[in-house]
Every structure is written in structure tokens, then in C-alpha cells.
Amino acid sequence: MGQIVTDNVSFENQIHQFFQNQRIGKLLKHSNISKEKGISPVAVFRMLFTRDPGI
């Protein structure tokens, strides 16, 4: 079980680094993906890529 948790954390860290390196936030802004209030679009996209779809 501990290995699974470690793998998930490592995967989430890799996704976070990818979003930073590729400037996903800037791409979303140029694509007119924005928010009115609440959580940032980058956080939503990051969650979509890092969360277990079974949840």
C-alpha cells in the first residue's frame, strides 16, 4: 500500500512539473479558458490529470 501512495505522489509531482515547464496556464489563457470566481483553471486541469477516475 505504501508503494502505491509513493507512486501517486511521484506521478502528481511529474504532472505539476509538466504544467510548469510547458506553461499550461499561459496556453489556457490564450485559449480563453478563464474563471469568473473560485478555483483556477490550471488547478482544475491538473486535478483532471492527477485524480483517480474511479473516485
Q: How confident is the model at residue 41 (pLDDT cuts 50, 70, 90)?
A: confident
Give the Cβ contact number of residue 8 at 10 Å. Answer: 13
Checking if the pLDDT of 2 tops 70, the result is no
pTM over 0.85? The answer is no
3-state secondary structure 14-32: HHHHHHHHCCHHHHHHHCC
Per the structure block, which three cell numbers stand in for 21? 515547464
Q: Locate the domains of the chain by residue range.
A: 2-50
Distance, first Cα to last Cα, the chain: 17
Checking if the pLDDT of 55 tops 60, the result is no
Average pLDDT over residues 19-35: 86
What single-letter DSSP state applies at residue 52?
-
Checking if the pLDDT of 33 tops 80, the result is yes
